[in-house]
Amino acid sequence: MMSSTEEVAWDQDIARSGDVLKRSLQNVLSCSVRDEAQVHVASLNAAKWTISKSAKTSNALPDFLALHLSEALRAMPRTDDDLISIRDALGTLLPHVTWINRQAQTDQDSAFVERHRHGIIAGPGGLLECSTLTLGLALMMPQTCYPYHQHPPAEFYLVLSPGDWYREDVGWWTPGVGGVVFNFPSCIHAMKSTNVPLLALWGLMH
Protein backbone atom coordinates (compact mmCIF):
# COMPACT_ATOMS: atom_id res chain seq x y z
CA MET A 1 0.00 0.00 0.00
CA MET A 2 1.33 3.46 -0.95
CA SER A 3 1.98 6.16 1.61
CA SER A 4 0.31 9.52 1.01
CA THR A 5 3.63 10.92 -0.26
CA GLU A 6 4.02 8.01 -2.68
CA GLU A 7 0.45 8.45 -3.92
CA VAL A 8 1.05 12.13 -4.64
CA ALA A 9 4.26 11.30 -6.54
CA TRP A 10 2.46 8.53 -8.49
CA ASP A 11 -0.39 10.88 -9.42
CA GLN A 12 2.10 13.50 -10.57
CA ASP A 13 4.00 10.99 -12.73
CA ILE A 14 0.79 9.75 -14.37
CA ALA A 15 -0.56 13.27 -14.96
CA ARG A 16 2.77 14.48 -16.36
CA SER A 17 3.10 11.50 -18.69
CA GLY A 18 -0.49 11.94 -19.88
CA ASP A 19 0.20 15.57 -20.73
CA VAL A 20 3.42 14.66 -22.58
CA LEU A 21 1.57 11.99 -24.56
CA LYS A 22 -1.23 14.39 -25.51
CA ARG A 23 1.17 17.17 -26.54
CA SER A 24 3.40 14.86 -28.58
CA LEU A 25 0.39 13.32 -30.34
CA GLN A 26 -0.85 16.80 -31.22
CA ASN A 27 2.57 17.65 -32.68
CA VAL A 28 2.60 14.52 -34.85
CA LEU A 29 -0.95 14.98 -36.09
CA SER A 30 -0.35 18.67 -36.79
CA CYS A 31 2.29 17.71 -39.36
CA SER A 32 -0.30 15.89 -41.48
CA VAL A 33 -1.78 17.73 -44.46
CA ARG A 34 -5.03 15.77 -44.20
CA ASP A 35 -8.06 17.80 -43.12
CA GLU A 36 -9.02 15.04 -40.69
CA ALA A 37 -5.81 15.63 -38.75
CA GLN A 38 -6.86 19.07 -37.54
CA VAL A 39 -10.17 17.71 -36.26
CA HIS A 40 -8.31 15.20 -34.08
CA VAL A 41 -5.76 17.82 -32.99
CA ALA A 42 -8.67 20.00 -31.82
CA SER A 43 -10.23 17.01 -30.05
CA LEU A 44 -6.98 16.30 -28.20
CA ASN A 45 -6.57 19.97 -27.35
CA ALA A 46 -10.07 20.14 -25.86
CA ALA A 47 -9.77 16.86 -23.94
CA LYS A 48 -9.78 17.20 -20.16
CA TRP A 49 -8.76 14.15 -18.21
CA THR A 50 -8.20 13.17 -14.62
CA ILE A 51 -6.74 10.05 -13.07
CA SER A 52 -9.37 7.36 -12.60
CA LYS A 53 -10.26 6.47 -9.02
CA SER A 54 -9.69 2.80 -9.89
CA ALA A 55 -6.42 3.45 -11.72
CA LYS A 56 -4.23 1.55 -9.28
CA THR A 57 -6.00 -1.72 -10.13
CA SER A 58 -5.69 -2.74 -13.77
CA ASN A 59 -6.28 -5.77 -15.97
CA ALA A 60 -2.67 -6.73 -16.69
CA LEU A 61 -1.31 -7.71 -20.09
CA PRO A 62 -0.68 -11.49 -20.39
CA ASP A 63 3.01 -12.41 -20.18
CA PHE A 64 3.19 -13.75 -23.74
CA LEU A 65 1.90 -10.41 -25.07
CA ALA A 66 4.01 -8.35 -22.64
CA LEU A 67 7.10 -9.74 -24.38
CA HIS A 68 5.80 -8.48 -27.74
CA LEU A 69 5.01 -5.07 -26.23
CA SER A 70 8.56 -4.76 -24.91
CA GLU A 71 9.95 -5.81 -28.29
CA ALA A 72 7.88 -3.22 -30.16
CA LEU A 73 8.73 -0.39 -27.74
CA ARG A 74 12.45 -1.18 -27.95
CA ALA A 75 12.28 -1.11 -31.75
CA MET A 76 10.68 2.33 -31.94
CA PRO A 77 12.94 4.86 -33.71
CA ARG A 78 15.05 7.14 -31.54
CA THR A 79 15.54 9.90 -34.09
CA ASP A 80 12.20 11.70 -33.77
CA ASP A 81 11.69 13.81 -30.64
CA ASP A 82 7.92 13.33 -30.50
CA LEU A 83 8.13 9.56 -30.93
CA ILE A 84 10.80 9.44 -28.20
CA SER A 85 8.51 11.44 -25.90
CA ILE A 86 5.57 9.15 -26.72
CA ARG A 87 7.61 6.03 -25.99
CA ASP A 88 8.81 7.44 -22.66
CA ALA A 89 5.29 8.49 -21.66
CA LEU A 90 3.92 5.05 -22.55
CA GLY A 91 6.64 3.49 -20.39
CA THR A 92 5.09 5.24 -17.37
CA LEU A 93 1.42 4.81 -18.28
CA LEU A 94 1.10 1.31 -19.71
CA PRO A 95 1.86 -0.70 -16.54
CA HIS A 96 -1.30 0.83 -15.05
CA VAL A 97 -3.81 0.61 -17.92
CA THR A 98 -6.57 -1.93 -18.35
CA TRP A 99 -6.01 -4.31 -21.27
CA ILE A 100 -9.00 -5.65 -23.16
CA ASN A 101 -9.49 -7.81 -26.24
CA ARG A 102 -12.20 -7.60 -28.84
CA GLN A 103 -14.28 -10.70 -29.38
CA ALA A 104 -14.94 -12.09 -32.85
CA GLN A 105 -18.28 -11.50 -34.51
CA THR A 106 -20.23 -14.43 -35.94
CA ASP A 107 -18.78 -14.03 -39.45
CA GLN A 108 -15.17 -13.52 -38.36
CA ASP A 109 -12.24 -15.84 -37.77
CA SER A 110 -11.65 -15.89 -34.00
CA ALA A 111 -7.90 -16.58 -34.33
CA PHE A 112 -7.06 -12.94 -33.58
CA VAL A 113 -8.91 -12.76 -30.25
CA GLU A 114 -6.13 -13.98 -27.96
CA ARG A 115 -3.41 -12.55 -30.20
CA HIS A 116 -4.22 -8.92 -29.53
CA ARG A 117 -5.06 -6.45 -26.76
CA HIS A 118 -6.05 -2.81 -26.44
CA GLY A 119 -4.63 -0.81 -23.55
CA ILE A 120 -7.18 1.86 -22.61
CA ILE A 121 -5.23 4.98 -21.68
CA ALA A 122 -7.98 7.63 -21.60
CA GLY A 123 -11.75 7.48 -21.85
CA PRO A 124 -14.36 5.08 -20.44
CA GLY A 125 -12.61 2.43 -18.35
CA GLY A 126 -9.23 4.07 -18.93
CA LEU A 127 -6.38 5.05 -16.66
CA LEU A 128 -7.36 8.66 -17.34
CA GLU A 129 -11.04 9.59 -17.25
CA CYS A 130 -12.18 11.61 -20.26
CA SER A 131 -15.69 12.24 -21.59
CA THR A 132 -14.81 13.52 -25.08
CA LEU A 133 -12.44 10.91 -26.52
CA THR A 134 -10.98 7.47 -26.02
CA LEU A 135 -7.25 6.95 -26.43
CA GLY A 136 -5.69 3.50 -26.48
CA LEU A 137 -2.76 1.39 -27.60
CA ALA A 138 -3.31 -1.51 -30.00
CA LEU A 139 -0.93 -4.48 -29.75
CA MET A 140 -0.98 -7.55 -32.00
CA MET A 141 1.31 -10.55 -32.19
CA PRO A 142 3.20 -11.15 -35.46
CA GLN A 143 1.22 -12.64 -38.36
CA THR A 144 -2.14 -11.53 -36.98
CA CYS A 145 -5.01 -9.92 -38.87
CA TYR A 146 -7.49 -7.66 -37.10
CA PRO A 147 -10.75 -8.25 -38.99
CA TYR A 148 -12.66 -5.82 -41.17
CA HIS A 149 -14.94 -3.72 -39.01
CA GLN A 150 -16.60 -0.30 -38.77
CA HIS A 151 -17.88 2.09 -36.09
CA PRO A 152 -19.55 5.51 -36.09
CA PRO A 153 -16.75 7.59 -34.44
CA ALA A 154 -13.93 9.01 -36.55
CA GLU A 155 -10.60 7.45 -35.62
CA PHE A 156 -6.87 7.95 -36.01
CA TYR A 157 -3.92 5.61 -35.57
CA LEU A 158 -0.31 6.67 -35.00
CA VAL A 159 1.72 3.74 -36.33
CA LEU A 160 4.55 2.75 -33.96
CA SER A 161 5.78 -0.46 -35.62
CA PRO A 162 5.66 -2.05 -39.09
CA GLY A 163 2.26 -3.28 -40.27
CA ASP A 164 -0.31 -3.11 -43.05
CA TRP A 165 -3.59 -1.16 -42.97
CA TYR A 166 -6.84 -1.29 -44.89
CA ARG A 167 -9.55 1.28 -45.57
CA GLU A 168 -12.40 0.68 -47.98
CA ASP A 169 -11.59 3.63 -50.27
CA VAL A 170 -7.83 2.91 -50.39
CA GLY A 171 -7.32 -0.86 -50.05
CA TRP A 172 -4.26 -2.21 -48.25
CA TRP A 173 -1.20 -0.03 -47.75
CA THR A 174 1.85 0.30 -45.49
CA PRO A 175 2.03 3.69 -43.77
CA GLY A 176 5.36 2.98 -42.03
CA VAL A 177 6.48 3.80 -38.49
CA GLY A 178 5.49 7.36 -37.62
CA GLY A 179 2.73 7.34 -40.23
CA VAL A 180 -0.81 8.34 -39.36
CA VAL A 181 -3.95 6.51 -40.46
CA PHE A 182 -7.34 8.26 -40.48
CA ASN A 183 -10.61 6.36 -40.60
CA PHE A 184 -13.70 8.42 -41.35
CA PRO A 185 -16.98 7.62 -39.55
CA SER A 186 -18.41 4.16 -40.31
CA CYS A 187 -15.82 3.28 -42.96
CA ILE A 188 -14.74 -0.37 -43.22
CA HIS A 189 -11.14 -0.78 -42.07
CA ALA A 190 -8.68 -3.39 -40.78
CA MET A 191 -5.00 -3.94 -40.00
CA LYS A 192 -2.50 -6.79 -39.89
CA SER A 193 0.94 -7.38 -38.48
CA THR A 194 3.89 -8.70 -40.43
CA ASN A 195 6.76 -10.73 -38.95
CA VAL A 196 7.00 -8.37 -35.96
CA PRO A 197 4.41 -7.17 -33.41
CA LEU A 198 2.07 -4.40 -34.50
CA LEU A 199 1.88 -1.44 -32.14
CA ALA A 200 -0.19 1.70 -32.69
CA LEU A 201 -1.80 4.49 -30.70
CA TRP A 202 -5.41 5.14 -31.59
CA GLY A 203 -7.97 7.77 -30.75
CA LEU A 204 -11.76 7.84 -31.11
CA MET A 205 -13.79 11.05 -30.86
CA HIS A 206 -17.02 10.67 -28.89
Q: Kindly report the CATH number assigned to the domain that includes residue 161.
A: 2.60.120.10
Distance CA(145)–CA(189), nearest Å, equals: 11
Long-range contacts of the stretch 28-33 (C-beta < 8 A, 24+): 28/82, 28/83, 28/86, 28/158, 28/178, 28/180, 29/156, 29/158, 29/180, 32/180, 32/182
Domain count, the chain: 1
Helices (H) and strands (E) in the chain, counts: 4, 12
For the entire predicted model, the pTM comes to 0.94
- Domain that residue 179 falls in: 4-205
- In tens digits, what is the pLDDT along the chain, a chain of 206 residues? 678 888 889 999 999 999 999 999 999 999 998 889 999 999 999 999 999 987 665 678 999 999 999 999 999 999 999 999 999 999 999 999 999 999 988 888 899 999 999 999 999 989 999 999 999 999 999 999 999 999 999 999 999 999 999 999 999 999 999 999 999 999 999 999 999 999 999 999 98
What pLDDT score does 108 carry? 86
**Which of 39, 41, 38 lies closest to 22 in space, CA to CA?**
41
What pLDDT score does 56 carry? 62
